[in-house]
Amino acid sequence: MKTVNVVGAVIQNENGQILCAKRAGHLSLGGYWEFPGGKIEENESHEQALIREIREEMGVEIEVGELVADIYHEYPNVVVHLITYRAVLTSGVLSSTDHDELVWLDVKSLKDLEWAPADVPTVDELLHQSGC
């Protein structure tokens, strides 16, 4: 089965809230929540891919921080290798072309959303790290 390598950003604001993005209905897994990011291109580091994807998808610049989770999730037709990193916004005005909704939530509220299966381990890790 094909493996797709992707990165995701756990973007936190100055209040410690995390940016959650609801996938557009016309995309695969439409309606599920995710951490924004995307595919790693050939010869890109994880950090380079994440910075590029967030710039392209959301029109903002980020600074990439520490690793949160490195997981593999098997969907029916593909294996997703998702590596998530903490990040902060450094410039730009947040918008999105691939998401129907963007919300900032406290860590404890993350569990209230219906997350894409590959993103669930990152949510669990964030809840664990915060003591929730």
Number of domains in the chain: 1
Tokens of 114: 């219906």
Neighbours of 78 (CB within 10 A): 12
pTM for this model (two decimals) = 0.93
* Phi and psi, residue 109, nearest 5°: -85, -10
Q: What is the pLDDT of residues 12-48, one digit of tens each?
A: 999 999 999 998 877 777 789 999 999 999 999 999 9
Q: Looking at residue 30, which CATH number applies to its domain?
A: 3.90.79.10
Nearest C-alpha neighbor of 110 from the set 28, 9, 27, 21: 21
Range of the domain at 52: 3-130
DSSP 115: B
Sign, CA dihedral 120-124-125-129, equals positive
Q: What is the pLDDT of residues 69-109, one digit of tens each?
A: 999 999 999 999 999 999 999 999 998 888 899 999 999 99
pLDDT-based confidence at residue 11 (cuts at 50, 70, 90): very high
